[in-house]
Structure 1
Amino acid sequence: MFDSHVAVLLDHAVALVNALTDGEARGRPYVAPRGAELLEAVEGALSDTAASLPRTLDAAQAEFLVAAARSMREVFQAMRDDRQDDAAATVNRLLRDSGARPRLDRAAGGGRDGGPPWQLHFHGADDSFAAGHSAGCATGLALAVGGSLASRLGVCGADRCDRVYVDTSRNAARQFCSTACQNRTKAAAFRTRKAAAT
């Protein structure tokens, strides 16, 4: 499976795609937030990194993340459609546009709290918050698409839902973005069987 750092990067990619791109979610149209609501959506998607969020995330950074999320969605869709070459090309564009480059940065506390003294990041120390997160997500996707776990990138298989997910199940059998979509699909199949039997 993905190591913990890559798993976090992929979780951020999923959260940004699902929060910032239009489509369908759990059987209903989904229109991504815009304006002031967009900033709240970014903060919500990256809530586990609240300490690193800038005090004021400006509109330009939010729009940068929207563009990155749209490209990340293309990667998930290409993998669903068995177009790995297209996914790789999109990931390469994301890596280039975000300026992704690996570097070791001293961890907060310098390892005194029992954690590692150094952390691997995929952006420069002076990059914007948006570029840094986009670079990290692009690198996580690159490691997935370029590795043996590429098939773990998925798009919900439920009717009228196109939210994305990363399959972390042991048997690689996940098909839905959430248990809500899984239950919705099972209920629809049950109703269809019941109607056919009468």
Structure 2
Amino acid sequence: MLFAHDTECALTAAAALVNTDGREGEGLPDVAALDAFFAAHSYSGRHEHTKTELQAVRALRPRLRRIWHTEVDEIVSIVNGLLREHRALPQLIMHDDEPYHLHAVPRDAPLATRMAVEAAMAFADVVRSGELRRLRSCEHPDCDNVLVDLSKNRSRRFCEAGCGNRAAVSAYRARKAAALHP
């Protein structure tokens, strides 16, 4: 494991959240989609199931997306801004059969606040570890998704949306076509 478990979960969730706003259309079209996202990424605590909460979560995406497309000083500015804005106070917490991990806002804070702070704390670990090169854009030409490369050898190139399979199929077809017409 490269980072602590909660950091890896927060990084993965942040990338997934950013990717809900892409070329494929709105990935969080309604409260039900936010409910599914909440469950898929094992969030706990307050969840209001409202349009206002959905809008607040959607509003976080552009700030997080900038992290993948900027330099370290701007990343630090975004992270510090999120932490200040939400009055983050890191504390070790244990809940839901999870070992001790960091929370920086109460579990009853609004979902968008918790998502923002958890992501900011995770990105702080990435910066402190000198591992910014693990934050990447998908290499498939038709995709604008982001990813977090948590592989040991830093070899992940494609997002979770099936781009790796599409690239492999394209490469296979190109090899077959080249073999037919040498």
User: Do both share a fold (TM > 0.5)?
Assistant: yes
The runs of 5 or more residues in structure 1 that have no matched partner are 25-29
- 1:94 correspondence with 2:82: yes
> Offset at 1:156?
0.8
Name the SS for the 2:19 alignment partner: helix
Q: Hey, what does 1:44 align to over in structure 2?
A: 36
- CA RMSD between the two structures: 2.6
Give the percent of matched residue pairs that are identical in Structure 1 and Structure 2: 29
Q: Hey, what does 2:152 align to over in structure 1?
A: 170
Runs of 4+ deviating beyond 4 Å:
193-197
- 1:70 correspondence with 2:58: no
Would the alpha carbon gap of residues 134 and 181 (structure 1) be closer, same or farther in structure 2, given more than 3 Å must change?
A: same
**Structure 2 counterpart of 1:146, one-letter code:** R
* Aligned partners of 1:100 and 1:136 also within 8 Å: no
Q: Hey, what does 1:143 align to over in structure 2?
A: 125
Residue by residue over 1:80-113, the C-alpha shift from the partner in whole angstroms, topping out at 9 and shown as x without a partner, is xxx33333333333333333331234x348xxx7
TM-score, normalized by length of structure 1? 0.75
Show the 5 A alignment for 1:1-198: 1-19=2-20, 21=21, 23-24=22-23, 30-33=24-27, 37-47=29-39, 48-49=41-42, 51-54=44-47, 56-78=48-70, 83-105=71-93, 107-108=94-95, 116=99, 119-124=101-106, 127-178=109-160, 180-195=162-177, 198=181
* Aligned partners of 1:156 and 1:175 also within 8 Å: yes
> Offset at 1:136?
0.7
> Offset at 1:176?
0.3
Provide the C-alpha distance between the structure 1 equivalents of 2:67 and 2:15, rounded to a whole number of angstroms. 11
TM-score, normalized by length of structure 2? 0.81
* Aligned partners of 1:16 and 1:42 also within 8 Å: no
* Aligned partners of 2:45 and 2:108 also within 8 Å: no
Count residues in correspondence: 178
